[in-house]
Amino acid sequence: MGWQRKVLRVNLTEGNVQVEPLNMEWAQQYLGERGLGTKYLYENMDPTVDALDPANVLIFATGPLTGTMASTSGRYAVITKGALTDAIACSNSGGKFGAELKFAGYDLLILEGRAPEPSYLKIYDDHVEILSAEPIWGKSVWQTEDWLKSHHQDPLMKVASIGVAGENCVRYACVVNDLHRAAGRSGVGAVMGSKNLKAIAVRGTVGVTVDNPKKFMEVVKETHAKLAVSDDVKELADYGTNAMIDMMQEFGGLPTRNFQEVQFEGVDNINPAAMTKVKENGHKNLLANKACFGCTIACGRIAHIDKDHFTISNRPEYWHASGGLEYETAFAFGPDCGVDDIDALTFAGFLMNEHGMDPISFGGTLAAAMELYEMGVITDEDTDGVALKFGNPEALTVMAEKTGKFEGFGQVLGLGSKRMCEKYGHPELSMTVKGQEFAGYDSRALQGMGLGYATGNRGACHMKHDVFGPDMEDQTGEGKALPCKKSQDKISAIDSTGLCWFTSGTWRITDYQAQVDAACEGDWTVARMFETGERIWNLERQFNLAAGLTKDDDSLPKRLLSEPAKSGVAKGKVNELGRMLPEYYEIRGWTDDGIPTKETLERLGL
Amino acid sequence: MQLKVKVVGPLSRYLPAGSVDNQTVIDAAEGATVADLIKALGMPEDQKCIVSIDDEVVPTGERQSKLLSASDSIKLISPLKGG
Ligand code: SF4
């Protein structure tokens, strides 16, 4: 148990709904969520198909611990071929939707084909319907959730949906659940839009079971207790993820103005202290923090915008509280675009949730457009008359809205920075790996982070490896390959449990393993967790190789490899990828071309 | 000698009350090391943090031996990750 042992398969083209038993052999090999979703994707589609083709498959996957009493057990993942990257995409999210899908009785929801008309899926336990989305097509995520709850007269329904950005296949459109939690990266929302699927509305009453309830309760009591006294948890709850902005600023790893610099002069206006500062008119940005399902950390921020601010002074519909600044949003809209107006950043963050877009990719794309504008490659004629200068808060908020509504220059920004920079003849200005924009960590200061970005199966991503410790200690590429590989394997396993990675500052691998072992059949040892993670990583790699990606896609933009950092601890340094990558391939058991050897595949049962 | 120190992030709770801009001045004997400074701030000896002097990171293994001087720009950065 732990697993519901049921998969819901929906063919949108034919309007078919089928329930099938979960393949338990695969569950024992890939655990759940990210791993199991990847296995089902690999076995159910041809990786060479276009991401926006109906033959792409979209999978919503829960983990064996999703919906249980374990802390942070609200996680689910969306797995597909990414519209932004043309590589495997795995975006996970919190909130309450994932647990509700599990309560409805399903480990996985597999969506195939393309609905002939805009549609949404209603799942009430065994009662599953594909319904017309005509009244909500063209509406925002927030309007969609409101309409569904009121139309079905069920305020407890949990909704995952796309906005207009997803309907129009903005390349980094995301799937938003519970109004401001998102499976954000790689364009999973664009794939959902390409399937004419507006929303998934779920209610579940089946509940979850675990293999050894007594042992599970004991383990969960221990792991909860560890979180309760952890400094790391207290810091996440008190400061939120945006605490990173001060660290990166002082360290010199805060990408600024499209990675031209690594420190930003405006940090004090957008950091956690700024979020809690009371202004002269009495306004304070931060209102409260918020937790996902079953979470005892509550890192989420709930904020509101100053009513006097130019963005909303005449728009009372934005005078409410909603999801506040997370570090990645603050970095991507702030330093990367050179903007230090906290209300403009918060408003643009609201727009990301409202219209369903990944703030990291939007911010990275806008930053590249700002550099193109300052170089004179694009002008006011291209940008609907908006001065796309670094530091212009209006450029940020106007373009966030235009992109969300797929209007004017927003349609170009909706391509993502890789496609946009190629369109204007300057691919070198796109700060991406495999087409996906970087998170807020500069890989000249954090060398192992650069290796993790370059080898990331879903493109540039800071959440699939963890080399922070060695990176902070030493600013060279030496000794980074092994911790990068090991952490990729470990996180692949943790991402497959249904638990949140933000527990990792407190829990060791033994804490995850003990919870999995108590909840699931089979003997889940630490060694097996690592092996499972390695198997998942290699299967993702196999998907990408089959999709046509090569060693050349394991790279970093020229800027990070040849333009030295101008300040901070890495002043004068570039990323040493050329030194780290061969060592990494060797440790992985891959050839010099980055292809898993026969022995590696056999060892992992692939 | 007097050491000017900036403590960044959650570890700023170790700064004396009334510190402005996360900075303080610590009185230290000549020959004081990074380890002495960490102790003077009231942090545990094995406190995880990044110590940088004039924008150069001091490896954890060198904390006992790395001598400080009054002209150093010293930062203690909280060891967060993720986000
Ligand atoms: S730590 Fe934050 S992101 Fe993770 S489950 Fe809790 S509230 Fe959600």
Which one of A72, A235, A250 would you mutate to disrupt binding with B, by most B Cβ within 10 Å of its Cβ? Answer: A250
DSSP character for B16? Answer: P
Question: What angle in degrees, to the nearest 10, is found between the helix axes of A342-355 and A141-151?
Answer: 50
- pLDDT (0 to 100) of residue A239: 85
Residues in chain B with CB shorter than 8 Å from the CB of A475 are 57
- pLDDT (0 to 100) of residue B48: 85
Residues in chain B with CB shorter than 8 Å from the CB of A502 are 82
Element containing residue A516 per DSSP (H, E)? helix A509-519
Q: Does B46 touch chain A (CB under 8 A)?
A: no
B83 has a pLDDT exceeding 70 = no
Amino acid at A70: A
Burial per residue of A328-337, b for 16 or more beta-carbon CB atoms within 10 angstroms, e otherwise = bbbbbbbbbb
Q: What ipTM was predicted for this assembly?
A: 0.88
Tell me how far apart the alpha carbons of residues A443 and A454 are, in angstroms, rounded to a whole number: 10
Residues in chain A with CB shorter than 8 Å from the CB of B78 are 235, 243, 247
Kindly calculate the radius of gyration of chain A based on its CA atoms and give it in whole angstroms: 22
Tell me how far apart the alpha carbons of residues A289 and A312 are, in angstroms, rounded to a whole number: 23
Closest-CA residue of A relative to B53 is A569
Instruction: State the fold for domain A237-433.
Output: 1.10.569
Most distant CA pair in chain A, distance: 67
Mean pLDDT by 10 residues, chain A (606 residues): 95 98 98 98 98 98 98 98 98 97 98 98 98 98 98 98 98 97 97 98 96 98 97 88 93 97 98 95 95 94 96 97 96 98 98 98 98 98 98 98 98 98 98 98 97 98 93 94 98 98 95 98 96 98 98 98 97 98 98 98 98
B80 has a pLDDT exceeding 80 = no
Q: What is the dihedral of CA A107, A605, A449, A180, to 10 degrees?
A: -10
pTM above 0.95, yes or no: yes
Spell out the domains of chain B, with CATH numbers in brackets. Answer: 2-77 (3.10.20.30)
Measured from the Cα of A236, ligand 1's closest atom is 1
Query: Domain coordinates of chain A in residue numbers?
Result: 6-203, 237-433
A582 Cβ neighbours under 8 A, 6+ residues apart: A592
Q: Is A181 left (phi over 0), alpha (psi -120 to 50) or beta?
A: beta
Query: What is the secondary structure of A301-320 as a DSSP string?
Result: EEE---TTSTTTTT-GGG-S
Other Cβ atoms less than 10 A from the Cβ of A478: the count is 14
Domain A237-433 in the same topology as domain A6-203 = no
Query: What is the secondary structure of A266-311 as a DSSP string?
Result: TGGGTSHHHHHPBPTTS-BSEEEEE--TT-SS--EEEE---TTSTT
Three-state SS letters, A377-430: CCCCCCCCCCCCCCCCHHHHHHHHHHHHCCCCCHHHHCCCHHHHHHHCCCHHHC
Which one of B49, B50, B56 would you mutate to disrupt binding with A, by most A Cβ within 10 Å of its Cβ? Answer: B50
Extract long-range pairs of A579-584: CB within 8 Å, 24+ residues apart. A579/A477, A579/A478, A580/A447, A580/A448, A580/A450, A580/A451, A580/A477, A580/A480, A580/A481, A580/A484, A581/A451, A581/A454, A581/A455, A581/A481, A581/A554, A583/A481, A584/A451, A584/A455, A584/A481, A584/A484, A584/A485
CB-closest option in B10, B52, B55 to A239? B10
Pocket of ligand 1 (CB under 6 A): A 72, 74, 94, 291-292, 295, 297-300, 500, 502
A438 Cβ neighbours under 8 A, 6+ residues apart: A255, A259, A360, A364, A431, A432, A453, A460, A462
Q: Does A235 touch chain B (CB under 8 A)?
A: yes
What is the number of CB-based contacts under 8 A between chain A and chain B?
75
Kindly calculate the radius of gyration of chain B based on its CA atoms and give it in whole angstroms: 12
Instruction: State the fold for domain A6-203.
Output: Aldehyde Ferredoxin Oxidoreductase;  A, domain 1 (3.60.9)
Interface of B with A in 6-35 (CB under 8 A): 6, 8-10
Instruction: For residue A128, give how far its alpha carbon lies from the nearest alpha carbon of chain B (Å).
Output: 36
Determine the distance from the C-alpha atom of residue A528 to the mean position of all C-alpha atoms in its chain, rounded to a whole number: 26
CB-closest option in A327, A473, A475 to B60? A473
Tell me how far apart the alpha carbons of residues A337 and A373 are, in angstroms, rounded to a whole number: 12
Closest-CA residue of B relative to A568 is B55
Q: What angle do CA A87, A467, A189 make, to 5 degrees?
A: 30
Measured from the Cα of A300, ligand 1's closest atom is 7
Residues in chain B with CB shorter than 8 Å from the CB of A476 are none
